[in-house]
Structure 1
């Protein structure tokens, strides 16, 4: 089975990056989407949020690559999260249900990067 897992299962942390154009505008949007301020700022061009143990999402100023990211975060209590995010003024722009009990909603940040929140049935 270890041969079927990328990097032989040795990856201990995941940092998923999203390039943005305007740091302040994006910082505000991601704070509202994620419902928390960043966990830390490595420098004046990046902000990092801890999503769970060993799982991080960060924005970085990189205008040349901004707008092309696609990230999907599988969540517990998806409907409650959607309602909380809507209460902070952000609504999802698209949705799909590719299988029974599977749902994904997509949000677009100010640059057009796609942040998806999804649910899959318990295994």
Structure 2
């Protein structure tokens, strides 16, 4: 098997409420709305993040986004009214964890120098 890309899925109960959060998180509207209950953002590396309505699975998703400068992203998100639930610094990564309105976990992660 040759894997050429990935699409991460986030299950939410209310797409309209989720759109508000994810538009602030990504700093823009969705790149695609293939269906009324789906929104997709394309990431610079080519992968996609899809937010979709699935009430049975809402709140059980985790998404980790690798960023170049965690402090810069936290400043930008603070201006958007998004505050991390927790922050941590480890030997390999600095992280900040957010929760969307359904409780899905979104982790922003910056590799420590020399580890990525």
| TM norm. shorter chain > 0.5 | yes
Report the counterpart of residue 106 of structure 1 in structure 2: 97
Map 1:42-81 onto structure 2 (within 5 A): 42-81=34-73
Provide the aligned length of Structure 1 versus Structure 2.
Answer: 114
Q: Please, which runs of 5 or more residues in structure 1 have no aligned partner?
A: 1-6
* Runs of 4+ in structure 1 over 3 Å off: none
Report how far residue 98 of structure 1 moved.
Answer: 2.5
Report the counterpart of residue 4 of structure 1 in structure 2: none
Q: Please, which runs of 5 or more residues in structure 2 have no aligned partner?
A: none
Q: Report the TM-score when normalising by structure 1.
A: 0.87
- Say if 2:114 is the partner of 1:120: no
Distance 2:20 2:26 in 1: 10
Distance 1:55 1:90 in 2: 23
Distance 1:81 1:64 in 2: 31
Report how far residue 11 of structure 1 moved.
Answer: 1.2
Distance 1:85 1:37 in 2: 15
Q: Provide Cα deviations, 1:9-40, integer angstroms capped at 9, x if missing partner.
A: x2111100000000100011100111111000
Q: Report the TM-score when normalising by structure 2.
A: 0.92
Larger radius of gyration: 1
